[in-house]
Structure 1
Amino acid sequence: MKTILILAMHGSPPNDFPKRELGEFFALHARFETAPTSMDEASRSRYAELDQKMRRWPRTAENDPFHAASLSLAHLLSRESGLETRVCFNEFCAPTLEEGVEQAVKDGFERVIVVTPMMTRGGEHAEVEIPAQIQHLQSEYPDLHLIYAWPFEEREIARFLAAQVRRFLE
């Protein structure tokens, strides 16, 4: 079965995105998150326009170190797993998880495994948003074998973090 790994990252605004538009985006984002029904059609349209502009903004290691680090992590994960690995983002960057899965299907992948480095339970993205997106995508692509490799075992997270601490004690 042709398998691909998608690394679901958070995303970060590029540091050279126009500051006025960034402020406008976050003001609209706060309204969208807290009271979406209070937004008129013009506000929703402007929010969507700014969201797309930010997601499609050209990224470099200088203007978005988080994006560059995400691509680097995907490269290393591909080498470790032996699977082609692509990056998708929850916010601020493209592609979205939906876009990534759609492209994987177009590219002939039959199994998509989604993993995120968001390791602890209780986070909105890892525990609510990504599973909801996967459930929706599964209904869109019923023949696709879609796996969310989450949650992480707490004991494994603790071992990983302890090894990191030991590196700094040596």
Structure 2
Amino acid sequence: MDDTGIILVQHGDFPFDFKEKQKLMFDFIEGMLEKLSDRTRGLPRKPDDPYSCDMHTLADAVRDAGGFKHFEVGYMEFSSPTIEEAVIRLEGQGVRKVVLVNSPGIMMRSSHSLLDVPAILKEVAHSHPGLELVYARPGIPFDKMAELFVKRIDSALGRQAHPSVPHAAATMRDDFGVVMIAHGDIPIEYLSSGEFGMGKAEKHIEEWSEMVRRWPRTEENDPLSFDTMKLEKLIREKGGYDNFRAGNLEFASPTLEEAVDKALQDGAKKILFIGGTGFCDRSSHTLVDIPDAVFKLQESHPGIKMTYAYPNMALVSADFAAIIADKVYEALEKGGLSISNN
């Protein structure tokens, strides 16, 4: 292995018990984000909007891999259509059973996939009692995901990346529909405009991020951190990366700066940053926030060459599609998380 330290940039998450104990704070920020989301869902999207284009690329790959005749994308926030609007589209096609599966951005076990999405689905189920909703269990197939990241990292390092293994498409079926749940994003051109109050929300989030980073973590209150550690170990082993570790953009430790310091202590002379499980598509995080963070770290370490591998959805869309299609059929065969409409 050469002298490159590799940092997998994960988002980080609020511990569930912290959210419970700071409910007033979270009600405040959620109200702010909900208003922002309502306003940005109706914004016009340019044909070359990077987030939308990557979601369309992934959606096409998933539809083909799974043989899904009835397939829609629904967004948790910021983008349209909403999850409920996507369900309504399938309902209009005569579908009576809908499988809902998370996109890579919110596929891992986290507050989004285990708390926020189920709350939305409960409301959808209440409004559509004639539909059977099946929520594919959050989580990742660690081996397949680790191989996907090795492919991304090797490509960024200029090494031979293993080609995607073709996924045997299922027979096109009429008896169910699929909604792939994505997070949603604000068009990049609006981020710095100040028009929608994003700066105010980001200021609060940054303050709370620093407040919560040292909160005690367990697998029960922060499964994302524990799953990240497992994935980190597998990627290191499968890729043969001696100096590889994960760092968090916000909310959790280690921070990116701490991850860089550890890589330098272990002998790195240069650093490669690559987006983690929530940062595989082009978005405001991957095109603005992470590059900004890397720029600040570069200023702090002028003698160390730092590079950032921008997302390339075309490289891994087939791999993600196979994972998502498998999760859909697993949910159909074994059941998913319960969605109560009571």
TM-score by length of 2: 0.41
* Aligned counterpart, 1:7: 8
Report the counterpart of residue 305 of structure 2 in structure 1.
145
Structure-1 separation of matches of 2:287 and 2:220:
31
Q: What is the aligned partner in structure 2 of residue 120 from structure 1?
A: 281
Structure 1 counterpart of 2:257, from 83, 98, 103: 98
Q: Deviations over 1:114-150 (max 9, x none)?
A: 11131111x2221111111112222221221212122
**Structure 1 gap ranges (5+):** none
Contact 2:19–2:26, Cα closer than 8 Å, also in 1: no
Give the secondary-structure state (helix, strand or coil) at the position aligned to 1:93: coil
Moved more, 91-100 or 17-26: 17-26
**1:155 corresponding residue in structure 2:** 314
Which stretch has the larger CA shift, 11-20 or 75-84? 11-20
Checking the alignment, whether the CA contact within 8 Å between 1:13 and 1:92 is kept in structure 2 is: yes
Q: After TM superposition, list the pairs within 5 Å mapping 1:1-170 onto structure 2.
A: 1-17=2-18, 19-24=20-25, 27=28, 34-36=198-200, 48=207, 50-83=208-241, 84-116=243-275, 117=277, 118-121=279-282, 123-152=283-312, 154-165=313-324, 167=326
Bigger relative CO (Cα 8 Å, ≥ 6 apart): 2
Per-residue deviation, 1:85: 2.0
Distance 1:25 1:166 in 2: 34
C-alpha distance in structure 2 between counterparts of 1:23 and 1:103, whole Å: 36
How many angstroms apart in 1 are the aligned matches of 2:199 and 2:302?
33
Percent identical residues: 30
1:75 is aligned with what amino acid?
K
What's the secondary structure of 1:63's corresponding residue?
A: coil
Gaps (5+ residues) in structure 2?
34-196, 331-342
Tell me how far apart the structure 1 counterparts of residues 231 and 27 of structure 2 sit (CA, whole Å): 28
Deviation at 1:158, TM superposition (A): 1.9
Match of 1:4, SS state, is: strand
How many aligned residue pairs are there?
A: 159
Write the distance in 1 (CA, Å) between the matches of 2:199 and 2:303: 36
Q: Distance in 2 between matches of 1:87 and 1:77?
A: 10
Per the TM alignment, residue 58 of structure 1 is displaced from its structure 2 partner at its CA by 1.5
Output one character per residue of 1:2-42: Cα deviation in whole Å (capped at 9) or x when no partner. 222111111111112162425426736959x7354xx8xxx
Give the distance between the partners of 1:17 and 1:9, measured in 2 at CA: 19
Cα distance in 2 for partners of 1:105, 1:147 equals 15
Work out which of the two has the higher radius of gyration on C-alpha atoms and give 1 or 2: 2
C-alpha displacement of 1:160: 1.0
Cα 1:62–1:27, aligned 2, differ >3 Å: closer, same or farther? same
Backbone CA RMSD of aligned residues = 3.0
Q: SS where residue 148 of structure 1 aligns? A: strand
Corresponding residue of 2:99: none
